[in-house]
Amino acid sequence: MLPAMNTTGRPTPAGPHRRYNPLLDEWVLVSPHRLARPWQGQVEAAHPPGLPAHDPDCYLCPRNRRAGGEHNPDYRDTFVFDNDFPALLPPVSGADGGPDDLLHAEPQSGICRVVCFSPRHDLTLARMDMPGIRKVIEAWTAEVERFGRRGDIGYVQVFENKGTAMGCSNPHPHGQIWGSAAVPHLPARKMAMQRRYFERHGRDLLGDYLLRELAAGERVVCRNEAWVVVVPFWAVWPFETMVVPVRAVDSLPALTSDEREGLADILRRLTVRYDNLFACSFPYSMGWHGRPTDGQSYPGCRLHAVYFPPLLRSADVRKFLVGYEMTAEPQRDLTAESAAERLRAQSETHYLIQLSHHRPE
């Protein structure tokens, strides 16, 4: 196994060091020795056990009334609808007030949609079967295609917030899709960095990075023929991962049927590992980054998903991005290599299934 290498080609230091993120052109401070410090801070509440398959008070369950007053249909798999409280609205006329180097604002219009992954209130992606997860992927893909055909949407952000630790107010399995007129800041930076790499090397950044990770192996969590899950060398969150396609593909709609099937497999395997790590419904924020829908050329763009889980030491101790992270640069305690090793070691059978098999008759 090759040692982890930094941007100069030398082995990664064992003590405090910085790692460069070529996708965002930023650094992260890594301080492995800090894991030994005592914790007397906030303790997270446990995920509510024994959720019902249908909650009559849940505004996302089939047949129930939503917070905005509409009634959900009696849906049987995925269900997509316009967000009742959207962050983006259709465009309205009006100028932005003209250029100003210090106080500049511009309109941002768009549409927000909600994707219910399953009619079952008590499931998550980690506990859904392959056909169910494949339907979620097809729903994501159909929405990206639909937004892209509109002509007034420049970028489509598919994401999921799971768990109260990541601000999710409803445990029903769901995610969101926001289509905005302008390309948001973080995807725009990734597009710019991938373009710059492609212009310099004639190859895509994530393709070259993936080759390095597969050669080293120590940050690879799991893989199949079409997808690889790695803890990025530059990860900020403790058990952050990135899901990268083996083939150079730039968007969800560009995936073949086999690649979509492979994606269902890899998402199930990753999310089960997350749940098994601390024997809990593991919280995270997940998002897809792919080619914008503004009709521009984006050479070197490769589709990928990022998972940002907050848990650090256990099911009730999370990582906070405060202080140094907010005033200087991101910092992490657990190395990417250690995080990947711990995730690799997890079973791909969900811990709740394992528990049910060990219960006495």
- Is residue 40 in a domain? no
Answer for the pair 115, 145: CB distance below 8 angstroms, yes or no.
no
230 part of a folded domain: yes
For 221-265, the pLDDT digits (tens) are: 999 999 999 999 999 999 999 999 999 999 999 999 999 999 999
Position 253 in a domain: yes
Query: Could you please report the per-residue DSSP string of 73-103?
Result: P--SS-EEEE-SS-SS------------SSS
Here the tokens at position 94 are 């009006």
**pLDDT for 39:** 44
Could you tell me the two tokens for 59?
Answer: 């505004």
Query: What is the pLDDT averaged over residues 264-293?
Result: 97
The residues assigned a catalytic role are 174
pTM of the predicted model as reported, rounded to 2 decimal places = 0.92
Confidence of residue 155 (pLDDT cuts 50, 70, 90): very high
pLDDT higher than 70, residue 69: yes
Q: Rounded CA gap, 81 and 280, in Å?
A: 29
Indicate whether 99 pLDDT > 80: no
The arithmetic mean of pLDDT across residues 255-280, rounded, is 97
Cα–Cα distance for residue pair 134/11, rounded to 1 Å: 40
On whether residue 63 sits in a domain, the answer given is no
Kindly state the tokens that stand for 39: 């914790």
pLDDT of 93 reads: 64
Mean pLDDT (whole number) for 51-80: 96
Among 329, 96, 160, CA closest to 234 = 329
Residue 292 and residue 176: Cα distance in Å, rounded? 17
Residue 44 in this model has a pLDDT that exceeds 60: no
Give the pLDDT confidence score for residue 14 in this predicted structure. 72
Kindly state whether residue 29 falls inside one of the protein's structural domains: no
Tell me the pLDDT tens digit for each residue of 305-318. 999 999 887 887 77
Q: Is residue 344 part of a domain?
A: yes
Nearest to 128 by CA among 53, 71, 72, 64: 53
**Number of domains into which the chain is organized:** 1
Beta-sheet pairing, 110-116 with 174-180: antiparallel
Q: What is the pLDDT of residues 192-224, one digit of tens each?
A: 999 999 999 999 999 999 999 999 999 999 999
Confidence (pLDDT) at 131: 98
Indicate whether 125 belongs to any domain.
Answer: no
Report the CATH number that the domain containing residue 217 is assigned in CATH: 3.30.428.10
48 within domain boundaries: no
| Domain span holding position 299 | 184-358
